[in-house]
Each structure stands twice: as structure tokens, then as C-alpha cells.
Amino acid sequence: MKKGFTVVELMITVALIAALAGVAFPVIGGFRESAQQASCVNQLRGLGVAVETYLSDHGGFFPDLKMGRKSMAGGRRVLEKALLPYVGGPEDFHCPADHEDFKKTGSSYFWNHHASGMRRSRVEMFGMDANHSQIPLIHDKEAYHGDENGTNFLFMDLSAGKDPDFQVDSK
């Protein structure tokens, strides 16, 4: 009876481990992307709660904000400044999949400037007044979550997800 591995057995073992790793790494990467996207959707839902509280404090009017800013040196009329008192801290504006924008600007998200300063019931975008609950209110600055459709949205009804429903009325 022999003890230990032969060179052939060792090469087969190494090849099997390499093959398993080749299959496992993409699967694990996919799980990581899904987890980051789910975390981002939860971040947006938290911002939705902040928006709802802001609306309650301001008579149903949205904050009058710019869409975003290019650097941290920007003004005060941006999402992360207006909603900061309604969230736990600056990290609430950081999408876990964003590795650049938050560091540069203080937020991973853009504000829909069509809602700025408007009463909630009066917001309209691209003729979307019949189903205004699906108007995007806050969204990722970039497609952080994979393909070109990898952008998450917070809608006017404060639901969050990846699939916008842009149904425009014909007038």
C-alpha cells in the first residue's frame, strides 16, 4: 500500500479545485451584486421615509433642490443637505455599489428637479399625471448595479425598485 499522492493525482486534485473555483467566483460575485442592489433599494426606502417626514413638516411641499452637485463644495440646495436632519447620517446617501460619486459629491443619488418646491399632488413629469405615483423622485447617479438598467429608483408613492414605469398620457 502506498502512502501520499503521486504527481498525477496531485495534478487532478489541483485541476478539480481550479474548476470549482472558476464556477464559484462568478456565482459569489453575482450574490454580492444582488446584495448591494438590495441594500441600495433599502437605502432609497429610508430616504423615502425621510422625504415623507420632510413633507409632513413642510405642509406637503417637496424641498426646492437642484438635481445634484459636482463636488462637495456645492451649495445647500441638494438632497443630502435638505434631508440630513431626517436620516441617521451622511452614509444614508451612499449606495454600497458606488465607489466614486459619494466620495466626490456626498451622495450616490440624484433628485428629480421636477418635484422641487412643488406640492406633492401637483408634481408632473413628461405628462405623467394620470399615474403620478410612478414618477421617479430619487435615483442612482449611475448604473451601479450591473448593466445599463442597473439603476434603482424611489418613486412618488415611496416605493423603490429597479423598474420604472414611464407611461405617458397622450394629450
CB proximity list for 168: less than 8 A, separation 6 or greater = 126, 127, 128
Strands (E) in the chain, as ranges, are: 109-111, 136-140, 153-155, 160-161
Share the mean pLDDT of the chain.
Answer: 81
Q: What is the pLDDT of residues 125-145, one digit of tens each?
A: 666 555 567 788 999 998 888
Is residue 27's pLDDT more than 70? Answer: no
Indicate the range of 16-25, 63-72, 107-116, 134-143 predicted with least confidence.
16-25
DSSP codes joined into one string, 65-84 = --S--SSTTS-S-SHHHHSG
What type of residue sits at position 163?
D
Whether the Cβ atoms of residue 5 and residue 12 lie closer than 8 Å to each other: no
- What is the pTM (predicted TM-score) of this model? 0.72
Q: What is the pLDDT of residues 73-98, one digit of tens each?
A: 767 789 999 999 999 999 999 998 89
Highest mean pLDDT among 17-26, 134-143, 162-171: 134-143
